[in-house]
Structure 1
Amino acid sequence: MTTTAADLRAALVRQLTADEGLTDPLWRAAAAAVPREVFVGDYFREVPGSFPTSYEPVREGGDGWLQAVYTNQTLITQLDGRIRPADTDGPVAGSPSSSSTLPSLVLRMWQQLDVEAGHRVLEIGTGTGYSTALGAHRLGEENIVSVEVDPDVADRAAACLKTAGHAPHLVVGDGLAGHRARAPYDRLIATCAVRTLPYAWLHQVRPGGKILVTFSGWQFGYGLALLTVTEPGEATGRFLPGWTSFMIARPHDRPPRQNPTLLPGDERPARIDPAVVTDWTGTWVAQLAAPSAERIGAGGQQILIDHATGSQARTRPDDRGGWIVTQRGPLRLWDQVEDAVEAWQAVGAPHQEQFGITVDGGGQRVWIGDEDGPGWRLPL
């Protein structure tokens, strides 16, 4: 039975190689060398069946702690931007705000970034420092700049990196502004999600350089894209296969949620089955169509509330096996969603990996197939 950290780490690398496509020998070597247990410490685990979702602390060194560290899973290390496992002895409700991301995703993204020896990398979101350590091991600490917005998280990551023998350049600040002092960079990798690509990044990554980032929104659609900077301020790329989710960057998060008051509005039959927006790519399409709306619901009964205008849309079944939509406010949210879903379905309802993205001074456009295909332009 494997019980030491080295044995468990080696077993995890074997699993990631066999099951998760860890094909690059240099990244396998990094995974085998970097001790994840140094970066985790105490963490939260979800209390099964709790509503609203609650989390209980798991103490470093306790029964099963080391085995969990070397399981391919995300370990939550902070709630609501302030609550740490050390702050509570029992279950506590909250929203995850920092974590040690599952190793397979971290390593897959480093592989997808297509780095080479000598490349200078800007990492957005130091988090626990584990991903930063992997990059420093592979590329050399002098080539890694990592930005973390939370001072307490940054301080702990710095201490963990020192313990692990790494000293990359660490910055406490808004990662959406990048770090101009050490630009230009050959690569940028983000371990948080964004609604729109920060314009600063497009001027700090050199032309020909690449940006790997997860796009998300308030409907919790996610898409991992690899963009190439074509000239200062402009980039284009495609969304990658697979499923990826990250906590959204704090400045891009939705306003505080309030219990919605659903008001009367205009009613009509819905043209699409509302359940389509619960599919991975269907959620993505709906989010592109109504980018400032939050979606609440399950199955065919959906509620959209627009944070910018207060507009609402909600669906309910009718007595003939169809659906009725009620809308009010200056935006007809469900009209926007239906138009987008029908455009997506008209080209075969492709998976998200058939989407691309172009960003320039005119905004951000997500498209299907090629740059002349149907798409949606969002403001930067």
Structure 2
Amino acid sequence: MTSRPVPEESIGGLLDEIAGQLGFPVPAHLQAALRAVPRHLFLPATLWLRDGNGGHEPCDRESEPDRWWRAAYCDAPLVTQFAEGPDGHRAPSSSASMPSVVVRMLMALSAEAGHSVLEIGTGTGFNAALLSFVCGAENVTSLDVDPELTRRAQRALKASGQQPDVVCADGAGGWRPNAPYDRIIATCSVRTVPLPWLEQTVTGGLLVIPWDTPWCNFGTLIATKQADGTAEGSLAPFGSFMLLRAQQVDAELRAGFPGAGQDPERSMTGLSPWSVAGNDLDAQMYVGLRVPGAWHVWDTEVAEAHTRLWLADGRTSSWACVDYDGQQTSAFAVSQYGARKLWDEVARAYEEYVAAGRPGVHRQRLRLTPDGWGTRHEVSVSGRVA
């Protein structure tokens, strides 16, 4: 697609939308970057927009140019590619991130001219172009595991006038030829930080990495590399990204349970399942960090209850369920099976969360330590071990 002048109302409107999300104007250097890098150059001819019913519908540039252009310059995420899974289900596999989230992450990165930056997940190439404008294209390396996405991004970057080093490679390994880096930023989420990212960051450098747990996909880690090879930082209350390809689990929510002959332990709880798996993202993030490997899903189609919360850990074949009968809101039936008593673990984590003063995501901290081929993380709250 050839470059087309961006009307002031388009870029001005986008900057106003982003400012509305931030609660303050976009910093001047990022305003300059957004004006210099036309977002539409990085979008394919067909976008997939939310249809209001939980799905997506196509928007084609040729047949709906005005709608396509509005989408290009609105503060919303845009699905740019679908992929078919092993079960035949099609799901988004690449997207253009919400511009306000892009700005939040770049603000957290605190990158400046001359900083060496590694981006994990080139995607459309838009973020790499913004980084190139801020730091200088010669200082930016961007990785993507998808060859077709890499080729598209390279073409769009050339059209935009920004040409960082774009490499088709598995981002989990970082990119040693251009290391070390002052800054590492990921546009995909992780459940554990790959060791090469830590190793390839200079002491005092920053890592900005969206975080994911099987329980909750939310939050972004902003960590500083320490002299002893570890990294420490807080989570920020934004960011929900697709999981790093190397850490994706095919069918986390498709395990068959309960299995034949499994006789669970039964009990009652006064803790509402909505307290730990409802709209409180601070609580969900805390539970996800403190109960590793556990995921949940709601079920309204079981015969035994009005609503059921399923919990499971596929690694141990442990599962649990908590039932709401449609009437009683102070007591819920619990069933648990396996080596892990998952509901007990979740309840203890929630008690810790309440005892710690219901810490917001920004008070939840992680310390990353090299561990074999990867890193392990320790959780604390505002400097106190949780």
TM-score of the pair, normalised by structure 2: 0.87
* Separation in 2, partners of 1:210, 1:228: 5
* Structure 1 contact 54–94 (Cα < 8 Å) conserved: no
Whether contact under 8 Å (2:143, 2:171) holds in the other structure is: yes
* Residue equivalent to 1:200: 196
Deviations 1:121-142 (A, max 9, x none): 0011100001111111111100
- Counterpart CA distance in 2 for 1:197 and 1:226 is 12
The structural deviation recorded for 1:195 is 0.3
1:26 aligns with 2:33: no
Structure 1 stretches of 5 or more lacking a match? 83-91, 375-380
Residue 335 of structure 1 pairs with residue 344 of structure 2: yes
User: 1:35: which partner in 2?
Assistant: 38
* Preserved CA contact (<8 Å) 2:264 2:336: yes
Could you tell me how far apart the structure 2 residues matched to 1:157 and 1:184 are? Answer: 24
Tell me the secondary structure at the aligned position of residue 76 of structure 1: strand
Identity across the alignment (%):
31
RMSD of equivalent CA atoms: 2.2
CA apart distance, 1:182:
0.6
Q: Deviation of residue 33 (structure 1)?
A: 1.2
Are 1:186 and 2:182 counterparts?
yes
State the SS of the aligned residue for 1:297.
Answer: strand
- Counterpart-to-counterpart distance in 1, 2:94 and 2:355: 39
Matched, 1:368 2:377: no
Q: Paired residue for 1:148, among 144, 147, 151? A: 144
| 8 Å CA contact retained: 1:22, 1:108 | no
Q: 1:130–1:358: structure 2 CA closer, same or farther, 3 Å change rule?
A: same
Give 1:247's aligned residue.
242
Q: Which residue of 2 aligns with 1:351?
A: 360
Change in CA separation of 1:223 and 1:180 when aligned onto 2, cut-off 3 Å: same
Q: Which residue of 2 aligns with 1:86?
A: none
- 2: CA distance, partners of 1:81 / 1:210: 35
Q: Which residue of 2 aligns with 1:171?
A: 167
Q: CA deviation at 1:246?
A: 0.8
Contact 2:225–2:231 (8 Å) recurs in 1: yes
Q: Distance in 2 between matches of 1:317 and 1:14?
A: 44
How much has 1:345 moved relative to structure 2? 0.6
Aligned residue pairs: how many?
358
Query: 1:291, CA displacement in angstroms?
Result: 2.1
Alignment of 1:204-283 (within 5 A): 204-231=200-227, 233-240=229-236, 242-256=237-251, 257-258=253-254, 260-263=256-259, 264-277=263-276, 278=278, 279-283=280-284
Mark the CA change 1:9 to 1:331 in structure 2 (over 3 Å): closer, same or farther: same
| Aligned residues of 1:270 and 1:324 also touching (Cα < 8 A) | yes
For residues 145 and 168 of structure 1, what CA distance do their matches in structure 2 show?
Answer: 6
Please give the alpha-carbon distance, in whole angstroms, between the structure 1 residues aligned to 2:345 and 2:21.
40
Task: Give 1:5 deviation, angstroms.
Answer: 2.7
Q: Which moves more between the two structures, 212-221 or 174-183?
A: 212-221
Measured against aligned partners, the alpha-carbon deviations of 1:328-367 in whole angstroms (never above 9, x if no partner) come to: 0111111111111101111211111111110113521121
Render the CA deviation track for 1:131-183: whole Å, top value 9, x for unaligned.
Answer: 11111111110010001011111111111111111110011111111101110
CA 255–270 in structure 1, closer or farther in 2 if over 3 Å, else same: farther
Give 3-state SS (helix, strand or coil) of 1:80's partner.
Answer: strand
Q: So what's the TM-score if we normalise by structure 1?
A: 0.88
Q: Which deviations, in whole Å up to 9, do the C-alpha atoms of 1:44-65 show, x marking residues without a partner?
A: 123443xxx5433211242411
Asked if the contact 2:215/2:294 (under 8 Å) is kept, the reply is yes
Instruction: Specify every segment of 5 or more residues in structure 2 that has no aligned partner in the other structure, as ranges.
Output: 301-306
For residues 296 and 73 of structure 1, the distance between their equivalents in structure 2, rounded to whole angstroms, comes to 26
